[in-house]
């Protein structure tokens, strides 16, 4: 089982622990505090927000996945 799942929050998709459930309070992988909504997250296309770059970087590091070169052009 993967340790993280993605959740739309504050304009982008953030990685959160798979152990967080609707109604829980927790942190995104990038450290933002949030309440996990009880309503299901929006589906495509409304839920297809861009990934939080910090969450994506930390998720990839934790999973041993290389960074996407195109996502980091100019950084």
Per-residue confidence (pLDDT) for residue 45, from 0 to 100: 78
Per-residue confidence (pLDDT) for residue 49, from 0 to 100: 86
> SS3 of 27, please?
strand
Yes or no: say if 29 and 47 are a contact pair by the CB < 8 Å rule: no
Q: Is the pTM of this model over 0.85?
A: no
Query: What residues of the chain score a pLDDT lower than 70?
Result: 69-75
| Residue/partner pairs of 21-30 with CB below 8 Å, 24 or more apart | 28/52, 28/55, 29/4, 29/54, 29/55, 29/58, 29/59, 29/62, 30/54, 30/55, 30/58
């Amino acid at each position: 089982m993967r340790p993280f799942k993605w959740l739309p929050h504050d304009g982008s998709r953030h990685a959160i622990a798979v152990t967080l459930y609707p109604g829980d309070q927790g942190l995104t992988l990038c450290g933002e505090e949030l309440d996990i909504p009880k309503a299901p997250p929006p589906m495509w296309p409304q839920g297809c927000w861009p990934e939080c770059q910090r969450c994506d970087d930390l998720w990839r590091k934790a999973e041993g996945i290389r960074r996407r070169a195109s996502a980091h052009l100019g950084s």
